């Protein structure tokens, strides 16, 4: 039997009562927002209303028509369901019951191309669609997430107050603002998640290096705690020290008991694919994704460990000094990771005509989300100071920081190679930095090779824009392939 319809109407409807959905509803209710909750499984809805939602400004709806009927106009309905076909299925169910001007919000981790498609399609039906990135996990959803809405901007005035009330706050400012048209919000969230992959991989490599130094897990935790009091102050550094200290029921550390195979839900992979599609060298996130793939080859790695030789060297230097160099390497690599992420944002913005405010994006990430850190305040300052900044590496603050860290960073990468400790993210960050600062790269040889075997042509210095072909062998003739413009 359906719930009776009360006289009071809801400010917003929310579809999906998994962990994120339930906590976001409770967050809204705490902020004076009346929410109408719906879940495909009615029993789950009833349990939620009878327990967590009891006594709060939360209504229930057991059918889609009932959900729509309980909402103020224009109706605002947010979905927190699995990305992909589930989103399209709910949109199809909602459409017959909605009116022109109503708003559908997808708060899941949808691919930005799907959000572009849905925004356009629903606009043709008079429905305003929003694709909103939501970051912060269970705790963020409950007490203040980072929210990155994009899509049909006509919807923003009707959801702005709700979103900014429930968002995390940094220096009193909500970690939520309008991002841009169609898929911009979900694209920014995708890059956020890619940076998250990179940050986690970097910390993992640092943990591996600490193991190679032979220091205790308690010493590792102390080191991360010290780092969290300085320029590396961040959510991920903070939780890492907690994880290192956590002991199982038997009194032993839990971390060494966990199987070393990392899972992933796809957003890091999407970031790497987008980087390839847009031709942006987001190498660190790519390595972070591949490192998770390598970790999944557990059985192969176990067999290989017994037959593939490695160095026998042991660390014999000053442990305290080397730990400081590791900190420098982590900080410098983190700068590179964010620089690459914002390069990707800039390129995509140019392609899709998104008017992204990079300083505002950094502010959105300063609270509530997984990559929140004091570091982001400097990113905001950098873009606020120079709206045309091409790379964070060129901003005065980060140029100074990476210059100070460079010597230690290089020593860490070199020492890791000597010890046989894999540091793909730390290493690729350094390789990118060296490539970015190099005026003359060996790509001229690549172009000559391509022209030699495929007549793909090349440009001469001082004659950019004019493509020429050389008959390198004397037998290739003067016919060239189509010009190369990537």
Q: Which of 111, 196, 205, 325 is catalytic?
A: 196
Residue labelled with tokens 């900190």: 327
Backbone angles phi, psi at 344, to 5 degrees: -65, -40
The answer on whether 352 is annotated among ligand-binding residues is no
Find out whether 192 is annotated in a ligand binding site. Answer: yes
Query: Annotated catalytic, 56?
Result: no
The answer on whether 212 is annotated among ligand-binding residues is no
Q: Which two tokens stand for residue 116?
A: 């572009």
82 labelled ligand-binding: yes
2 labelled ligand-binding: no
The answer to the question of whether 20 is labelled as a binding residue is yes
Q: Is 189 a catalytic residue?
A: yes
140 appears as a binding residue in the annotation = no
Per the residue annotation, which of 66, 111, 189, 287 is the catalytic one?
A: 189
- Neighbouring residues of 120: CB distance < 8 A, sequence distance ≥ 6: 182
Question: Is 470 annotated among the ligand-binding residues?
Answer: no
* Placement of tokens 């790379």 in the chain: 391
| Annotated binding-site residue? 136 | yes
**Residue 380 annotated as lining a ligand binding site:** no
Residue 179 marked as a ligand binder: no
Does the annotation place 134 within a ligand binding site? no
| 208 assigned binding-site residue | no
Report residue 24 CA to chain centroid gap: 20
Match 């730990």 to its residue by tokens.
Answer: 323
User: What is the rounded distance in angstroms from the CA atom of residue 37 to the CA atom of residue 64?
Assistant: 10
The residue to which tokens 């923003």 are assigned: 156
DSSP state of 288: H
The radius of gyration of the chain from alpha carbons, rounded to an integer in Å, stands at 26
End-to-end CA distance of the chain: 61
Distance CA 37, CA 22 (A): 9
C-alpha span between 193 and 268 (Å, rounded): 6
Is 16 known as a binding-site position? yes
Instruction: State the Cα–Cα distance between residues 472 and 344, nearest whole angstrom.
Output: 37
- Is 81 annotated for ligand binding? yes
Instruction: Say whether 19 counts as a known binding-site residue.
Output: yes
Using CA atoms, how far apart are residues 213 and 120, in angstroms rounded to an integer? 55
Rounded Cα distance, 464 and 455, in Å: 18
Helix (H, G, I), strand (E, B) or coil at 35: strand
Angstrom distances, CA of residue 26 to CA of 11, 37, 72:
14, 10, 19
> 82-89 — which CB contacts under 8 Å span 24+ positions?
82/108, 83/108, 83/109, 83/110, 83/111, 83/114, 84/110, 84/114, 87/114, 87/118, 88/118
- Distance from C-alpha of 85 to C-alpha of 232, rounded to nearest angstrom: 39
Q: Are 140 and 168 in contact (CB under 8 A)?
A: yes
265 marked as binding residue = yes
Q: Facing residues of 234 across strands? A: 373
Cα angle for residues 173, 175, 176 (degrees, 5° grid): 110
Continuous H helices in 74-183:
85-94, 112-124, 137-143, 156-166
Annotated binding site for substrate: 109, 135-137, 192-193, 197, 265, 292, 450, 456
Q: Which residues does the annotation place in the binding site? A: 16-21, 39-41, 81-83, 109, 135-137, 192-193, 197, 265, 292, 450, 456
Binding-site members for NADP(+) are 16-21, 39-41, 81-83, 109
**Residues assigned a catalytic role:** 189, 196
């Amino acid at each position: 039997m359906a719930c009776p319809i009360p006289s009071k109407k809801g400010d917003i409807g929310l579809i999906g009562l998994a962990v994120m959905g339930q906590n976001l509803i409770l967050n809204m209710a705490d902020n004076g927002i009346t929410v109408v909750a719906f879940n495909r499984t009615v029993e789950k809805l009833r349990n939620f209303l009878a327990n967590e939602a009891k006594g709060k400004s939360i209504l229930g709806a057991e059918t889609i028509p009932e959900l729509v009927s309980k909402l103020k106009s224009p109706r605002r309905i947010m979905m927190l369901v699995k990305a992909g076909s589930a989103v399209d299925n709910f949109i199809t169910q909602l459409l017959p019951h909605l009116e022109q001007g109503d708003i559908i919000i997808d708060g899941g981790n949808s691919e930005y191309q799907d959000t572009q498609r849905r925004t356009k399609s629903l606009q043709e039906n008079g429905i305003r669609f929003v694709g909103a990135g939501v970051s912060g996990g269970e705790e963020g959803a409950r007490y203040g997430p980072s929210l990155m809405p994009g899509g049909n901007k006509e919807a923003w005035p009707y959801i702005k107050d709700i979103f900014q009330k429930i968002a995390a706050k940094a220096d009193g400012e909500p970690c939520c603002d309008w991002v841009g048209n169609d898929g911009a919000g979900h694209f920014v969230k995708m890059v956020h998640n890619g940076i998250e992959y990179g940050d986690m991989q970097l910390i993992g490599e640092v943990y591996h290096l600490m193991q190679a130094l032979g220091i205790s897990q308690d010493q590792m935790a102390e080191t991360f705690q010290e780092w969290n009091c300085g320029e590396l102050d961040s959510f991920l550094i903070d939780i890492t020290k907690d994880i290192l200290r956590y002991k199982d029921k038997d009194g032993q550390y839990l971390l060494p008991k966990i199987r070393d195979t990392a899972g992933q839900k796809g957003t890091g992979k999407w970031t790497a694919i987008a980087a390839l599609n847009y031709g942006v060298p987001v190498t660190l996130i790519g390595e972070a994704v591949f490192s998770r793939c390598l970790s999944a080859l557990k059985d192969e790695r176990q067999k290989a460990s017994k037959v593939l030789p490695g160095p026998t060297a042991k660390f014999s230097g000053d442990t305290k000094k080397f730990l400081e160099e590791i900190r420098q390497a982590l900080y410098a690599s983190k700068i590179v990771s964010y620089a690459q992420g914002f390069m990707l944002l800039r390129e995509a913005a140019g392609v899709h005509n998104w008017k992204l405010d990079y300083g505002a994006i950094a502010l959105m990430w300063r609270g509530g989300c997984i990559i929140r850190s004091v570091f982001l305040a400097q990113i905001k300052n950098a873009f606020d100071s120079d709206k045309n900044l091409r790379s964070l590496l060129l901003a005065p603050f980060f140029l100074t920081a990476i210059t100070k860290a460079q010597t230690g960073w290089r020593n860490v990468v070199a020492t890791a190679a000597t010890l046989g400790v894999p540091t793909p993210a730390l290493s690729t960050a350094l390789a990118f930095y060296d490539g970015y600062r190099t005026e003359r790269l060996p790509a001229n040889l690549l172009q000559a090779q391509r022209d030699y075997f495929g007549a793909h042509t090349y440009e001469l210095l001082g004659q950019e824009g004019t493509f020429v072909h050389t008959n390198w062998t004397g037998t290739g003739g003067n016919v060239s392939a189509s010009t190369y413009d990537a």
